[in-house]
Structure 1
Amino acid sequence: MPQIRNPILPGFNADPSILLHNGTYYIATSTFEWYPGIQIHSSRDLSNWALHSRPLNRASLLDMRGNPDSCGVWAPCLSFSPITKKFYLVYTDVKRKDGSFKDTHNYVIIADDIAGPWSERIFVNSSGFDPSLFHDVDGKMYFVNMLQDHRRRPRTFAGIACQEWDEKKGLVGERKNIFKGTELDLVEGPHLYKRNGWYYLLTAEGGTGYEHAVTLCRSKDVWGPYEVHPEKHVLTSKDSHWAALQRAGHGDFVETPEGKTYLVHLSGRPITQERRCVLGRETSIQEAFWKDDWLYVKNGPVPSLFVDVPGTHDDTAYWAEQKYTFEKEIHRDFQWLRTPEHERIFRTENGKLVLIGRESIGSWFEQSLLARRQTHFSYDAETILSDFSPVDERQFAGLTAYYCRFNFFYLTVSGTEDGERELLILASEASWPDGKLTEPFQEPVKLPKEGKVKLALTIRGKEGQFWYALEKGDGWEELKKVGKVWDASILSDECGGHQAHGSFTGAFVGVACSDLNGWAKEAVFDEFVYRPVKHVSDRYEI
C-alpha cells in the first residue's frame, strides 16, 4: 500500500470530521472568522483531496460581524442518516471566547445532497461548543457537545452533554453529562459511534496546544457509564516533543469498505525553537486497528508523519504556481472575514478585482480583505495594484500577510496630507491587548502620483521580506526590497494575540483596502500570484 506524508490538508484546516458516502470521503473543518463558513474537502482514496464546498454561504446561516478573532465557526460535524437519507451538518457560531464566559450557539443544517442546497439553520442549544450528531441504528439521533461552566466547579470544561434530538421537535428528554473527562482536563470535541454492540465516545483533551490528545471510552449504553481506554489517549504528541506532528488531537474515525480504520485529527508543525506553527492546525490521518473492541493507532499513540493509505498521492498541484485572475467569480482558494455581504467589500469588473475601502485592517465588523491560506512554509506572492489614488493617509491598499488584528504585516500604497503617494509598511507584531501598529514606522518610499505598482513578498520559513516595482515601458523594473526582514513566525497560533485567550486559525496572504474617511475609496488589482518554494529549515525540508 502506498505511503503519503502528513498532513493531508495542509495549512489552516482544523477539527476534522470525516464521512464516507457512496464511495467518496468527505472532511469538514473549522473556518472560525473566515467566510464562507466550513470547508468540506472530498477524496476517493483518502490520499488526494480537493476543496468541495463551503456550505455556510448566506447570512441566514452565518453572520459573524462583531465576532472577535478566532471566534466564529468551531468544530463542525458532518453526518449522513441511512434512515432519513439526509446529510446533517452541525456547527457552533462562537460570539465570545475570552474571560470566564463563552457565548456558543449551536445549529444544525440539513440537505438531501452534500452539494446543497442546505436548509435554514435550526438552533439547538448554547451550553457549550464542538457539537456533533450521532445516528443510532434504531433511528434515534443524539446531540452531544462539551459543557461550559464559568464557575469552574471544579472545571470550566465540565464534561460531555448528551441529549436526544428530533428534526421536528428539537431536543427531547433529559440532558445527561455522560463523560467528565480524564485528569488531562479540557474535554471537548465529542463524537459518538456504535460498533459491535459498544457505544464509543471519542473526545479531545488537554487543550488545542502542545498537551492535546485524543481520548477514547466506551459503554454498552449510550447514556453510560463510559470506561476509559486502557491507554487513555489513543493519539497524542504531548510526551514526544520532537515528533514531526505536534498538537495532535481532536479526531474522528472512518472505516473503509475493505474493513480498514483510519483516524483523522488536527496537528501542527512548528518550525522554530519557539515552537511556532505558522500553518496553523492542519488535518492529518493515521491508520488504526481494533483489538479487544478497542481502537489503537498504528505505531501510536504518537502520530506518524508517513502513513499507508489506499491511494497514490499526487502532489503536483500542491507545488504548482497559482496565478489568480478575476474574469468571473472569485477563486475558491480565497476567503474574506466575517461578513455575508461580500458585495460591500469586493467585486470583479473587466477581469480585475475591485476592493471597496471599508474599516481598518483588523476590524471585527467590515473590512475589505481577500486572502488565501498559507499552505507552504516558504512561498512568493505578488499582486499588481493597477488603479489607486489615495487623497490622504487614511486611504491605503496593498498586500498583506495576515493572521489576526494583532498580528499582520501590510505593504500599503497610501497618501499623504499634501496629496502625494507613498509606499508604507504597517505592521502589528503581537502587541496584544492594544493592537497598536509597530512603531517607529520604517521609512516610506515615495511613489509617482499615478501608475501601476507591483507589490511582492517572500517568505522563507520564519523570514519575510516585502518588495515593489514600478512600470517601465512595456514591462517592469526589477523588484526592490522594502523595509527590513521581519519575523514571519509571529503569524501563528502561538503568537496570535494572547495565548491565554486562544488563537486557532493560521496565516493568510492576500490583498486589502481601507478608507478610514468612510468614503469607500476603491482599489483595483490586476492579478494575484502564489508561488510555493521548496526550502530547507532547521526542522523540516519545507
Structure 2
Amino acid sequence: MIQNPVFKGFNPDPSICRRGDDYYVAVSSFEWFPGLPVYHSRDLKHWQLLTHVLTDDNNPDLKKLPSAKGIWAPSLTWCEEEKLFYVIYGVMNSMNSRYFDVDNYLITASEITGPWSEPVYLHSAGFDASILHDTDGKKWIVSLEWETREGYEKPGAICLVEYSPQTRSVVGYPQRIWRGGTDRGCIEAPHLTRRGDYYYLMVAEGGTGYGHAVTMARATQVAGPYEGDPQNPIVTSWPENFNARHDADHLKPHYFNPQTYLQKAGHGSYVETPTGEVWLTHLCSRPFRQALRCPLGRETAIQKMVWSDDGWLRMAAGGNLAQHQVEESNLPSQPFPAKPDRDDFDGQTLDNAFYAPRIRFQRFTSLERRAGYLALRGQESLSSLNKVSLLAKKLTSVYATIVTKMDFSPEIYQHSAGLTLYYDNMNYLFLHKTWG
C-alpha cells in the first residue's frame, strides 16, 4: 500500500506531470531557497527529492519578504511537441489589506534538472496560474482572480488567457470562466486539461483549511460554458458541502473531521499512466488534535482515481474522503536507496534537502574550511527578513531527536550559534551558545 502523505513536512501545492516512464511533482517553497523542489518517481509509491527549479536568489529576490510569501503554487507540465518542461510560478509580494500583490512567471527547460530559461512575466491578476498545451498548438493559462473591490468574493473566479510562445506574452486580459462547483467559496488552484471532447478544469474550493476540497468542471470549448461535476467535491477531508462564499476565515476549524487521518485535503492535479491509471496529488495536513495546529505545514498526498462511465473523475476507493492508505499502481516497483539521517559534512557538497530562508545557503556555508565540519558565517538574527545564516531541513514528524556537535567560541554578546526549531521568523525555539 501507498502510505500518505507521500511527501511529509512542508510540501504544499503539488503539481504532477509525466514524461515517458518518469513522474515528477513540484511543490511550493515560499521564502525558502533553493526554490520549487521537484520529486521524482517511476512507480508513484517511491519518491526522491531530485532537484530544485529556482536556484538564483537574485531572481527572484525574496529578501525582506514576510514569512509565507515568496514562491507560490508551481504548475509543472511536459509539452511533448516541444520536448520542453514548463513551470509557471507566482511570486507573492504582499497580502496587505484587501490586496494580493503577486507576479506570475513562466520558465522552460528540456530537462527537469535544467538549465531553466529566463523567466517570462505573464500577469498579476491573481495567483495559482497553470498552463494547458492544447492539441491544436495553442496554450492557455488559467489562474484565480483576486477581486479587490469591496463586496465581492475573494477569490471568486477562475480566469483564462491565451499565451503566445512567439511573443512570449499573454494575449489580452484574463477572462472569467468559472465560479466554482460548490458554494464552499475561495476558488483557487486551477489546472486545465483536455480529454476527448472535453476540457476539464480541476480547482480547489473551501479555503486552504479544514473545508478544503478538490472539485471539477468541464466544457466542450476552452472558454466555456463549464458544467460542474454533480458529485463535487471529488476529494476532500469534509465530505458534506456548505456555503462559505463570503467567509473570510479560510482555516474553518469547525470543519475538522475526526474520522480521517488527512485533514485540509485540496489543491489537486492529476496524471495518467501509459496503462490508463489516473493518479491525483493534493495537499493535506496532520494537525495536533486539541489545538488543530499543523506545525509540520501542508504536506503532499496521492490518491488513485478512475474515470466514470459518464466522464468524471472518481476515487478508486469510492466516496470522496482523502485516504491514508492507497492501493499501489500496476507499475513495476522501483524504490530508491534510502538516504541517511546523519550528515558528517565530509562530502564536497551539501545534501539537496538543506534550505535557507530567502538566500542561497552557499552564501554563508563552507565545507572546505575544516575537514568533517560545516562552517557557518554569522549574519543577522533569526527574526530578520533579510540575511539569516540558518541551514535547515524540513521536519517530517513531530517525534524527532536532533543532535549536533559544535565548535564555537563567541567573543561578544552578539555572537551566538546552536540548534533552532524554526516555524518562521517570529516563531522559533533557539538552543544556543553565546558570550557572557
TM-score between both structures, scaled by the size of structure 2: 0.91
Contact kept, 8 Å, 1:9 with 1:282, in 2: the verdict is yes
Give per-residue Cα distances to partners, 1:83-107, cap 9 Å, x unaligned: 2221111101111124311111100
- The residue type paired with residue 351 of structure 2 is H
Deviation at 1:358, TM superposition (A): 0.9
> Which of 251, 255, 259 is the aligned partner of 1:242?
259
Q: Structure 1 pair 251/366, CA: closer, same or farther in 2 (3 Å)? A: same
> Which of 327, 332, 348 is the aligned partner of 1:308?
327
> Which of 89, 94, 97 is the aligned partner of 1:96?
94
RMSD after superposition: 1.7
In 2, Cα distance between equivalents of 1:314 and 1:302: 28
In 1, Cα distance between equivalents of 2:65 and 2:344: 29
Correspondence for 1:68: 66
Once the two structures are superposed, the pairs formed by residues 126-275 of structure 1 within 5 Å of their partners are 126-169=124-167, 170-181=169-180, 182-239=182-239, 240-275=257-292
> Which of 315, 323, 337 is the aligned partner of 2:357?
337
Give per-residue Cα distances to partners, 1:437-484, cap 9 Å, x unaligned: xxxxxxxxxxxxxxxxxxxxxxxxxxxxxxxxxxxxxxxxxxxxxxxx
Contact kept, 8 Å, 2:214 with 2:268, in 1: the verdict is yes
The secondary structure found in structure 2 opposite 1:14 is: coil
Deviation at 1:347, TM superposition (A): 2.2
In 1, Cα distance between equivalents of 2:269 and 2:214: 9
Give per-residue Cα distances to partners, 1:375-408, cap 9 Å, x unaligned: 123111111111x222232221110010101211
Q: Which structure has the highest strand share of the two? A: 1
Q: Structure 1 pair 142/230, CA: closer, same or farther in 2 (3 Å)? A: same
Contact kept, 8 Å, 1:60 with 1:121, in 2: the verdict is no
Correspondence for 1:322: 342
> Which of 342, 346, 352 is the aligned partner of 2:365?
346
Deviates more, 1:403-412 or 1:232-241: 232-241
Contact kept, 8 Å, 1:5 with 1:305, in 2: the verdict is yes
Give per-residue Cα distances to partners, 1:199-247, cap 9 Å, x unaligned: 0000011111111100101111100111111112111112433301110
In 2, Cα distance between equivalents of 1:316 and 1:302: 32
Q: Structure 1 pair 178/121, CA: closer, same or farther in 2 (3 Å)? A: same
In 1, Cα distance between equivalents of 2:139 and 2:397: 40
In 2, Cα distance between equivalents of 1:324 and 1:9: 24
Q: Structure 1 pair 315/332, CA: closer, same or farther in 2 (3 Å)? A: closer
Contact kept, 8 Å, 1:75 with 1:91, in 2: the verdict is yes
Contact kept, 8 Å, 2:47 with 2:335, in 1: the verdict is no
Correspondence for 1:523: none
In 2, Cα distance between equivalents of 1:84 and 1:153: 44
| Residue 293 (structure 2) pairs with residue 276 (structure 1) | yes
Correspondence for 2:385: 364
- The residue type paired with residue 380 of structure 1 is T
Deviation at 1:129, TM superposition (A): 0.7
Give per-residue Cα distances to partners, 1:39-97, cap 9 Å, x unaligned: 10000000000011001001453221011100111110111112222111110111112
Correspondence for 1:383: 404
Deviation at 1:326, TM superposition (A): 4.5
The secondary structure found in structure 1 opposite 2:374 is: strand
- The residue type paired with residue 290 of structure 1 is W
Contact kept, 8 Å, 1:358 with 1:367, in 2: the verdict is yes
Contact kept, 8 Å, 1:14 with 1:283, in 2: the verdict is yes
The secondary structure found in structure 2 opposite 1:168 is: coil
| Residue 20 (structure 2) pairs with residue 22 (structure 1) | yes
Correspondence for 1:402: 422
Correspondence for 2:254: none
Deviation at 1:313, TM superposition (A): 8.2
Contact kept, 8 Å, 1:244 with 1:269, in 2: the verdict is yes
Once the two structures are superposed, the pairs formed by residues 527-538 of structure 1 within 5 Å of their partners are none
TM-score between both structures, scaled by the size of structure 1: 0.73
- The residue type paired with residue 326 of structure 2 is V
Deviation at 1:324, TM superposition (A): 4.1
In 2, Cα distance between equivalents of 1:303 and 1:315: 26
Give per-residue Cα distances to partners, 1:259-278, cap 9 Å, x unaligned: 11111111111233222222
Deviation at 1:250, TM superposition (A): 0.3
Correspondence for 2:242: none
Correspondence for 1:294: 312
> Which of 352, 355, 374 is the aligned partner of 2:395?
374
- The residue type paired with residue 29 of structure 2 is T
In 2, Cα distance between equivalents of 1:79 and 1:198: 19
Deviation at 1:149, TM superposition (A): 1.2
| Residue 433 (structure 2) pairs with residue 413 (structure 1) | yes
In 2, Cα distance between equivalents of 1:265 and 1:195: 20
Deviation at 1:316, TM superposition (A): 8.2
| Residue 39 (structure 2) pairs with residue 41 (structure 1) | yes
Contact kept, 8 Å, 1:60 with 1:120, in 2: the verdict is no
Deviation at 1:353, TM superposition (A): 1.4
Contact kept, 8 Å, 1:324 with 1:331, in 2: the verdict is no
Contact kept, 8 Å, 1:61 with 1:120, in 2: the verdict is no
- The residue type paired with residue 293 of structure 1 is G
The secondary structure found in structure 1 opposite 2:400 is: strand
Contact kept, 8 Å, 1:265 with 1:285, in 2: the verdict is yes
Q: Structure 1 pair 324/76, CA: closer, same or farther in 2 (3 Å)? A: farther
Contact kept, 8 Å, 1:90 with 1:133, in 2: the verdict is yes
> Which of 104, 107, 110 is the aligned partner of 1:106?
104
The secondary structure found in structure 2 opposite 1:162 is: strand
In 1, Cα distance between equivalents of 2:52 and 2:126: 23
- The residue type paired with residue 180 of structure 1 is R
- The residue type paired with residue 191 of structure 1 is H
Amino-acid identity (%):
38
- Count the aligned residue pairs: 411
Deviation at 1:328, TM superposition (A): 1.7
The secondary structure found in structure 2 opposite 1:322 is: coil
The secondary structure found in structure 2 opposite 1:157 is: coil
Contact kept, 8 Å, 2:418 with 2:430, in 1: the verdict is yes
